[in-house]
Each structure stands twice: as C-alpha cells, then as structure tokens.
Amino acid sequence: MSDSTTLSRGDYDALIFDLDGVITDTAQTHRKAWKEVFDQVLEEHLGADYRPFDVDDYRRYVDGKPRFEGVRSFLSSRNLHLPEGEIGEGPDLETVYGIGMEKNERYQERVAEGQLSVFDDALELLEAAEQARFGLGLVSSSRNAGLILEILGLSDRFGARVDGQTLAEENLAGKPAPDMFVEASRRLGVEPRRAVVIEDAESGVRAGRAGGFGLVIGLGRGGEEECRILREHGADLALTSLAPLKVVDEEGKYG
C-alpha cells in the first residue's frame, strides 16, 4: 500500500479488528483495573517503596495478551514469581490465576457501571466496510468480548469472532503469536494476505505481521509516539484515528 488511506475491495477481502482501544473505549477500563490490582500486589510483596504500575507497563507487558499471560509477564518484569494457582479459582492476590480473576472481577464491575463506549470513527468504518462488502472479523484476548459486544449492540457486526474464550477452548496461542488472527481469517473464508489487521497493541501488530496479513494497521490513539512504536513492531501504517481510512468496493464505490 502507498501513502493512500483507501482500502479497496479489489485488494482486500476482509478487515479484522482488535476490540479494546480500536472499536471500544475499554482499554482505559482494563488499564485502571490492572493498576488497582497490580499496585496492591506490589505493595504487599515489595513494600511501600514499590514503583507503581504505569501506562508503559500496560503497553509492554499486558495490552493485547491473554489475561494470565499478562499477569506472568508483568510480575516477571518486577522479579516477582508467584505460584500459578488453580484454573478456575476465585480472586486473590497470591497466585497468577487469582490475580487474573481479581482483575477480571474489578473490570466487570466497571463495565456494569457503564464505563465503556464505542469510538465513533470505528463505528463509521464498520458501517462503510459492510456497505463495500468487506468481511468483518474481531480478535480479542478478552474473555469478556462477547459480553461487551452484546451490551453495545455490535454482536451481529462480525462474521467471525475469536476471543479469549476461543483461545482457551481451541488451545490457540495468544498474541503476539498469529494464531487468533489466522483463525479469524479462516472462519471468514479469507487468506491472510487478503485481509487487513487493525490493532492498537504492540503484541497485536506483531501477531498480524507474523501471520502474513496483507496489511497491518497500527492505531495509536495516544499520539505520534504510540504510532512510532507500533511501526517499530511491524505496522505497515500507523494512524492516530481511523477517520482517515476509507473503504471502497471493487468499482471504487460505496464506502
């Protein structure tokens, strides 16, 4: 693709979106829930002089990854090695699984309080892509993806959804492995080289690149520095908004 921001149905058959931070404004909700939990864990295990969990930690160790992998990754970055615990155990701050469940409980509380919304530019792009007859896929590491889409009335928008629940049920590797995106393209009946990945996380951009997708778009809503980082991790194109993206059908119309 050149400097153009037009996606043609003649070049690509499908758009595959990440959820948090791309379509829904829930990335901040996730980050706040993680910070509450991790700061409490750090204080309990490292004392009052701990360095708090911050935006850079979220981007480097957690964003886009399966929940428990994110716990392991962040704890390791602070030289903390806690027991794994048991799959399905309840929330606590003493094990990897317990911490993951504690975060999920706090995240769901925020969602129930209405702390989520859809980005207008994403909704406009989805509507235009439907009109131009693109296949639409959704990939999210979150097991709450289905719930979020249902709450927002977006469940019927996507011809394929591969989320944290799918990852567990089908034993797929999480991002930055390409498995989830490849599975979404398979469900859409599209070759990866004919699909566009739209991601805001470093791990997701790396997954799209590793999967051989035709175009990997990095979305850095936080500004040009985020875009620079996404390009470094393999994004073909990095934007601060989806608004510049236009979609057209095979005849250059409808989008």
CATH number at residue 202: 3.40.50.1000
Q: Which residues are catalytic?
A: 18, 20
Smallest CA-to-CA distance from 184 within 232, 138, 126, 242 is with 138
Smallest CA-to-CA distance from 9 within 252, 249, 198 is with 249
Q: What is the pLDDT along the chain (255 residues), one digit of tens a residue?
A: 444 589 999 999 999 999 989 999 877 888 999 999 999 999 999 998 899 999 999 989 998 888 999 999 999 999 999 999 988 778 989 999 999 999 999 988 888 887 778 999 999 999 999 999 999 999 999 888 998 899 888 999 999 999 999 998 999 999 999 999 999 999 999 999 999 999 999 999 999 999 999 999 999 999 999 999 999 999 999 999 999 999 999 888 766
Q: Is residue 41 located within the same domain as residue 136?
A: no
Q: Assign residue 65 the CATH number of its domain.
A: 1.10.150
Q: Is residue 154 located within the same domain as residue 64?
A: no
Last residue of a domain, one of 89, 112, 135: 112
Taking the complete model, does pTM exceed 0.75, yes or no? Answer: yes
Q: Is residue 215 located within the same domain as residue 200?
A: yes
Q: Is residue 218 located within the same domain as residue 207?
A: yes
Q: How far apart are CA 68 and CA 8, in angstroms?
A: 38
Structural domain including 108 reads: 28-112
For the chain, the domain total comes to: 2
What pLDDT, in 10s, does the model give residues 40-54? 999 999 998 899 999
Q: Which two tokens stand for residue 70?
A: 């994110």
With H, G, I as helix, E, B as strand and everything else as coil, classify residue 243: coil
Q: Is residue 90 located within the same domain as residue 128?
A: no
Q: Is residue 180 located within the same domain as residue 55?
A: no
